[in-house]
Amino acid sequence: MSIDYKDRASKIALPSHLFIDGKRVDAISQKTFDNINPGTGKVLGPVAEGDSDDINHAVASARKAFDAGVWSNMAPKDRKKVLIRLADFMDDHAEELALLETLDVGKPIGDSLSVDVPSSANCMRWYGEACDKIYDEVAPTGPGAFGTITREAIGVVAAVVPWNFPLLMTCWKLGPALAAGNSVVLKPAEQSPLTALRLAELAIEAGLPEGVLNVVPGFGPTAGKALGLHMDVDCLAFTGSGEVGKLFLQYSGQSNMKRVWLECGGKTPNVVFADCLDLKKAAEHAAIGIFYNQGEVCTAASRLIVQDTIKDEFIEEVLKVAATMQPGDPLDINTSLGALIEEKHMNRVLDYIDIGKNEGAKLLCGGERVLLNQGGYYVAPTIFDNVQSSMRIAQEEIFGPVLSTLTFKDEEEAIHIANDSQYGLAACLWTADLNKAIKLSRRIRAGNMWINCWDGGDMTMPFGGYKQSGNGRDKSLHALDKYTEIKSTWIDLS
């Protein structure tokens, strides 16, 4: 018998407090805000609204824990045990976390269960395992000196994350930051506080000392800004829009020059050559690449750039896959496309669809809000043809299920269009000619190159962008660079 996730969701306890110093607490102001379910448009419940006073409280708690050494000085092999236990607890609570995620952000429960939660637990486990496997360096000095190059935790890390993959983005920050011995204050997006709050409770049960992980839901211009300007935050790791990323650079300059690491937006070019081996597979990835998670993916393959000789045939295939990805109830296990995060965002996506039409692009499917009777924020998968690279729908991040199709004649034109963007997060190339794939991928300005696939990779591969997609890298051992300082110690032996 299939599981009734709607029923299970109706019985689940929803976290509603701030989590500071190992405890649930109210906001100092006693204020709360309504947390909305994007699938229904109804209020899920109140959540404590943190502001600068609560951020001060959380940062003080993180600093106290860091200075006491309860985590920062714990032997790496013991930190490892705690993080792996936390990953195990996440697996044990997988259904609960998946339901919280789906209720909070409207993504399909099937995706929360099969992607978001297991990937997040896997991330935590991966960094847990890394704790006691990283060695420092001895410099090749002459005989008169002994030089060591050691990595040290940076101190208090603030993480500010978005709503599209709330738990996964949280774990991409927490995994390496905690593995390196830091204390953390996390501000989830105001639209998606639930899984981070539950995770903090599980972390305490797993043995993370109090104060090492603090979670403060609240709004960007209050709680987020307070973290950015805080004089006692050593490092700010951000995932979100470029607009807010730039604000964090300013906050740093206006305060204590804290390190700022940014994972921002993208406009992924998906370049399909006529010599692509498997056009059906490429078409499937082209559709999934833009419609997965309702297109609310920083690496969404939002620019389909097809060789002109195969364009019509290829688009036919993409349309067939799109037709199978119609929006539905996020709590239905058969749903592949859920609700957009909020009404404001849905209207922004619909505005972009109007902009595309007015710019002269040809609407092939979708283009409208659907499932109005559900009360939530659903937009049909939308495909535009005849898009020019200069159009706004080819340049700006829409962050919804809207695909822009462009064509090219030869390699030079393909590379020109692919690079014609302020962003450089990811790019895909589809060709059977590996020499061509390697040569062209070297010319594409993007942090993630996917050859004959969309969104390939695992925890061993760094993730991040060139240009205005950000700086620094999440995932892999490279992520530890963000959360550690390098100390050079020169011992005079003369």
Q: Annotated active-site positions, please? A: 263, 298
Q: Is 437 left (phi over 0), alpha (psi -120 to 50) or beta?
A: alpha
Element housing 98 (H / E): helix 94-105
Q: How far is the CB of 190 from ligand NAD (least distance, A)?
A: 5
Q: Whose Cβ is closer to ligand NAD: residue 66's or residue 463's? A: 463
DSSP structure class, residue 480 = G
CA 178, 180, 186, 191 torsion-angle sign? negative
Q: Which of 155, 266, 295, 356 binds ligand NAD (CB under 6 A)?
A: 266
Task: Provide the H-helix boundaries in 150-193.
Answer: 166-179
**Which listed range, 1-9, 112-120, 204-212, 213-221, lies at the site for ligand NAD (CB under 6 A)?**
213-221
Specify the pairing of strand 484-492 against strand 466-467: unpaired
Token output for 357: 């039409």
State how far the Cα of 216 lies from the Cα of 186, in Å rounded to an integer: 6
Q: Are 290 and 301 in contact (CB under 8 A)?
A: yes
Q: Does 483 bind ligand NAD (CB under 6 A)?
A: no
Cα distances from 445 to residues 119, 288, 459, in angstroms, run: 27, 23, 22
Q: Which of 14, 213, 244, 437 binds ligand NAD (CB under 6 A)?
A: 244
Q: Whose Cβ is closer to ligand NAD: residue 161's or residue 206's? A: 161
Q: How far is the CB of 219 from ligand NAD (least distance, A)?
A: 6
Q: Does 476 bind ligand NAD (CB under 6 A)?
A: no
State how far the Cα of 301 lies from the Cα of 427, in Å rounded to an integer: 8
Residue with tokens 């410099």: 139
Q: Which of 15, 118, 155, 224 binds ligand NAD (CB under 6 A)?
A: 224
Per-residue contact flags (x/-) with ligand NAD for residues 412 to 451, judged by CB under 6 A: -------------x--------------------------
Q: Does 220 bind ligand NAD (CB under 6 A)?
A: yes
- Greatest Cα pair distance, the chain, in angstroms, is 81
**Which listed range, 19-27, 222-230, 331-339, 358-366, lies at the site for ligand NAD (CB under 6 A)?**
222-230
Q: Does 399 bind ligand NAD (CB under 6 A)?
A: yes
Q: How many residues bind ligand NAD (CB under 6 A)?
A: 31
Residue with tokens 């300082």: 485
Q: Does 317 bind ligand NAD (CB under 6 A)?
A: no
Q: Whose Cβ is closer to ligand NAD: residue 273's or residue 292's? A: 292
Of 163, 213, 472, nearest to 340 by C-alpha is 163
Q: Which of 37, 122, 164, 484 binds ligand NAD (CB under 6 A)?
A: 164
Q: How far is the CB of 339 from ligand NAD (least distance, A)?
A: 15
Q: Whose Cβ is closer to ligand NAD: residue 385's or residue 397's? A: 397
Number of other CB atoms surrounding residue 95 within 10 Å: 16
Give the 3-state secondary structure percentages of the chain, helix then strand then coil, rounded to 5: 40, 20, 35
Q: Does 311 bind ligand NAD (CB under 6 A)?
A: no
Residue with tokens 């390196």: 180
Q: Which of 49, 51, 104, 263 binds ligand NAD (CB under 6 A)?
A: 263
Of 125, 88, 120, nearest to 101 by C-alpha is 120
Q: Does 265 bind ligand NAD (CB under 6 A)?
A: yes
Q: How far is the CB of 277 from ligand NAD (least distance, A)?
A: 29
Distance, first Cα to last Cα, the chain: 77
Per-residue contact flags (x/-) with ligand NAD for residues 176 to 205, judged by CB under 6 A: -----------x-xx---------------
* Footprint of ligand NAD (CB under 6 A): 160-164, 169, 187, 189-190, 219-221, 224-225, 228, 239-241, 244, 247, 263-266, 298, 397, 399, 425, 465, 469-470
